Chain A
């Protein structure tokens, strides 16, 4: 008899059932937790302005809009840079093309955002709508000189839709570490965008 292991009589059904039951209860609890997470992340509130509507995440911080922005919301619970969704409604000349609108937006971004670099750009179809996708990166730094934290590297995605004499730009900004994990939720937000 090996003294370092239980006698076989005792490692029978009782132990095995208990082990399986513990694993089953833990799996059920974790699945329930996952459902809770999904339900929290899918909570949304309706938004509508200038004929554009969307379902924005509930509980996010709504910042006052500037320039052509009609929506600017940030998840204050994100680590590092707060994940942000922006919708802009930019007027353009009636004979402008999407390419011109993209160039104009790129120039604006380059002037406003620190270390702005375009990573990729292409034409895409977003939930049945023709759009132009621009992926980029920039550095976000608190302008307060006494703030002693390292600036955040932010990845961004712009979806540019032509809508008559306006372009609608749906923007996604997230900390480089959270970009991939938060992207799915932004795509859900894009799916609710109506104009």
Chain B
């Protein structure tokens, strides 16, 4: 009878990853590669861009005469679509060992709830970020990282860490990315709904671009936190590992917001500023593909290193 127990289920352990013990079943799951996650990521980005194209074209051709409540409802429905697209792709691809739907939905709702109850009131109503953050470049970068970035990323971290993370269902390194992405999309959905309601409805064609940009960004930076969470669960990591991961996500989030502002703004005149939201969409798509691609590559590399070390040990 071994002295060590599996860090996931508590059964007798037989294998070790980074000083953490695992039973046979959970060693297998912790070192399982999910090639499908790559496909889901690419499909998510492509799907969202196609969604933007369809809504933009429909708006251009049909000129829907929506006003008042109808316009708000249409905006709210559009705000829900990015998360729905991700969920659909996720379940179509995740057939080998599907994550429980309840957990995914629960983390998504928790992300949304934390955004609505804590994140948005703190950023908008307590710190009144919009009133001072654009004072100069240094202030924009500092405010975007220290307040917007850290508050958003901490809440997404909390949505995963204090819900599904301790459960036995969180049994693969990739799970961190999957659940954190769900929390990020929950957060993005509430940000987008708030945008629609605060403006009393929005022009569907142009606002759908903004919604998708927000969804891609929130999912990408949550993915960074999820990567660090995933490795923290299956390996003995130093105390600074998770704060470092969260800080990295917050810095990425803040820099993204600042850079997006610079990229989409094409001209400033006395009558106002003109913008090109398509550049923002392109930028967000590239950032999402790069960030999530890098995270998944790091996970794969780590799994292969672990398996190689086990083979040498055997």
A100 at the interface (CB under 8 A from B): no
Q: Is B127 a contact partner of A37 (Cβ separation < 8 A)?
A: yes
Whether A7 pairs with B150 at a CB distance below 8 angstroms is no
The residue that B157 contacts in the complex, of A22, A24, A75, with Cβ under 8 A, is A22
In the complex, besides A1-B10, A29-B146, A77-B130, 18 extra interface pairs with C-beta distance below 8 angstroms are A3-B168, A9-B5, A10-B7, A18-B241, A21-B240, A22-B242, A26-B151, A29-B150, A30-B150, A30-B151, A33-B147, A34-B127, A36-B142, A36-B143, A40-B132, A40-B139, A58-B135, A77-B135
Give the number of chain B interface residues (Cβ < 8 Å): 43
B210 CB–A CB distance under 8 Å: no
Asked whether, in the complex, the Cβ of A21 is within 8 Å of the Cβ of B243, the reply is yes
Residue of B nearest to A36 (CB): B142
Nearest B residue to A149 via CB reads: B200
Q: How far is the CA of A26 from the CA of B158 in the complex (A)?
A: 12
A3–B150 touching, CB < 8 Å: no
Bound together, the chains give a CA A11 to CA B128 distance in angstroms of 38
Task: Verify if A66 is at the interface (C-beta below 8 Å from B).
Answer: no
Docked-complex contact B6 and A7, CB < 8 angstroms: yes
Complex interface: chain B residues within 8 A of A43 (CB)? 135
The 6 closest A-B pairs by CB, nearest first: A33-B146, A33-B147, A7-B10, A1-B10, A29-B150, A25-B243
Q: List 11 contacting pairs A-B, 8 Å CB cutoff, sorted by A.
A: A1-B9, A5-B166, A7-B5, A18-B241, A21-B242, A22-B157, A33-B150, A36-B143, A36-B146, A37-B129, A181-B128
> Given A14-B239, A21-B242, does the pair A33, B6 have CB atoms closer than 8 Å?
no
**In the complex the two chains form, what is the Cα distance from A37 to B239 in whole Å?**
30
Encode B246-259 as 1/0 by CB contact (under 8 A) with A: 11001000000000
- Mostly helix, strand, loop or mixed at chain A's interface? helix
Find out whether the CB atom of B6 lies under 8 angstroms from the CB atom of A26: no
Q: Does A19 contact B (CB under 8 A)?
A: yes
B147 touches A30 (CB 8 A): yes
Residue-wise, chain B 1-31 has the 8 Å CB interface mask toward A (1 for contact) of 0000111111100000000100000000000
CA–CA, A41 to B129, complex, Å?
Answer: 11
Q: Any chain B CB within 8 A of the CB of A164?
A: no
* Chain A neighbourhood of B247, CB < 8 A: 25, 29
Report A-chain residues with C-beta under 8 Å of the C-beta of B166: 4-6, 11
Contact with A77, one of B132, B151, B240, B246 (Cβ below 8 angstroms): B132
Check if B63 is an interface residue, CB within 8 A of chain A. no
Asked if B134 lies at the interface with its beta carbon under 8 angstroms from chain A, I say yes
Determine the distance from Cα of A170 to Cα of B167 in the docked complex, in whole angstroms.
61
Contacts of A110 in B (CB 8 A): none
Closest to B131 in A: A77
Within 8 A of A (CB), among B246-276: 246-247, 250
Contacts of A1-53 to chain B: CB distance below 8 A: 1, 3-7, 9-11, 14, 17-19, 21-26, 29-30, 32-34, 36-37, 40-41, 43
Q: Which of B130, B134, B136, B147 has the most CB of A within 10 A?
A: B147
Q: Give the residues in chain B near A29, CB-CB below 8 Å.
A: 145-147, 149-150, 247, 250
User: CB-CB < 8 A to B146: which residues of A?
Assistant: 29-30, 32-33, 36
The answer to whether the Cβ of B154 comes within 8 Å of any Cβ in the partner chain is yes
Which listed residue (A18, A24, A32) contacts B232, Cβ 8 A?
Answer: A18
Complex Cα spacing A18 to B132, Å:
33
A4 CB contacts on chain B under 8 angstroms: 166-168
Report whether A18 and B237 are in contact in the complex, using a CB–CB cutoff of 8 Å. Answer: yes
In the complex, what's the smallest C-beta–C-beta distance from A17 to chain B, in angstroms?
Answer: 4
Nearest-Cβ distance from residue A189 to partner chain B, whole angstroms = 15
- Chain A residues with CB under 8 Å of B128's CB are 37, 178, 181
Known: A5-B167, A18-B239, A22-B243. A40 touches B127 (CB 8 A): no
A79 at the interface (CB under 8 A from B): yes
**Minimum Cβ distance to chain B for residue A142 (Å):** 14
Question: Are the C-beta atoms of B246 and A59 separated by less than 8 Å?
Answer: no
Q: Is the CB of A6 within 8 A of B7?
A: yes
Hey, which chain A residues are within 8 Å of B131, CB to CB?
75, 77-79, 178
In the assembled complex, which residues on chain B have CB atoms less than 8 Å from the CB atom of A10? 7, 20
Q: Is the CB of A22 within 8 A of B246?
A: yes
Q: Which residue of A lies closest to B132 (CB)?
A: A40
B236 within 8 A of A: yes
Please report the C-alpha to C-alpha distance between residue A23 and residue B20 in the assembled complex, in whole angstroms. Answer: 24
In whole angstroms, how far apart are the Cα atoms of A79 and B246 in the complex? 31
